[in-house]
Amino acid sequence: MKNLPPLKGLETLLPEAALAFLAEQFPQQVCFSTSLGLEDQLVTHFIFQNKLPITIFTLQTGRLFKETEELLHQTQNYYGQKIEIFEPQADTVAQLEREKGRFSFYDSIENRKECCQIRKVEPLQRALSGFRVWVTGIRAQHSENRQNLPIWEWDEKFNLYKFHPLLHWTYEEVFDTIKKQQIPYNPLHEQGFVSIGCEPCTRAVKAGEDFRAGRWWWESSQQKECGLHTKS
């Protein structure tokens, strides 16, 4: 475990102030990864609205919802600022689909993780290159394995610091702020999609279901992660 730099008081700052503080402490070395979900739209707003020198990027997996792709375009126009786009290696995707088909992820957890590795993890590795701090939209409510996360941590897998400004926010707090600030958001959230990933791997959540029930719903595992926020 790497010793974290002494950023005393970071946890007590409001998200906007914390982001500004990190941008000052790590000039041109802070990035934010957005999947254009509610949490990410709010963090994007904090960064763009305050013109913070934080690079924002997204992963274009090639299997996103049409609504997500439209929101990316809308968000950039709304703020007049650019979100960098990282795509998977075309030849690797082509090889996977040639050997196993376009829907191999339904066949096994191993296949699903392979697809996530190709479409998400590898592009993320390239996107994070050269940065020292990675800001995320993770909230503790997302899943059981995120409930005990610290707001500021060292990521051994990607070898950089990680900050979760909305970690202790509730879904309702995020959505209420989104609406109050009139921030663009994905219309699928109004149709029962609380967590939106790739189109073939995401469905709406039914009343009473867990927050992550709509992601990889055919899997029985409770540890539903794509590899972006896991230790291995």
> Which CATH number does the domain housing residue 60 bear?
3.40.50.620
* Global pTM value: 0.90
In which domain, by residue range, is 40 found? 27-186
How close are the terminal C-alpha atoms of the chain, in Å? Answer: 14
16, part of any domain: no
Domain assignment of residue 113, yes or no: yes
Residue 62 belongs to a domain: yes
Q: What's 119's DSSP letter?
A: I
Establish if 213 belongs to a structural domain.
Answer: no
Q: Which residues, at least 6 apart from 189, have a Cβ–Cβ distance to it below 8 Å?
A: 38, 175, 196
CA distance 98 to 89: 14
- Cα dist. 147→38, 99, 202 in Å? 18, 38, 22
DSSP string spanning 75-91? HHHHHT---EEE---HH
Check whether 69 has a pLDDT greater than 90: yes
Confidence band of 1 (pLDDT split at 50, 70, 90): very low
- The answer to whether residue 115 is catalytic is no
Give the DSSP H/E element, type plus range, for residue 13.
none
Q: Is residue 160 part of a domain?
A: yes
Catalytic residue among 115, 116, 198, 226: 226
Q: Is residue 211 part of a domain?
A: no
Q: What is the mean pLDDT of the chain?
A: 90
Q: What is the pLDDT of residues 99-137, one digit of tens each?
A: 999 999 999 999 999 999 999 999 999 999 999 999 999
In a domain, 14, yes or no: no
Number of domains the chain contains: 1
In a domain, 171, yes or no: yes
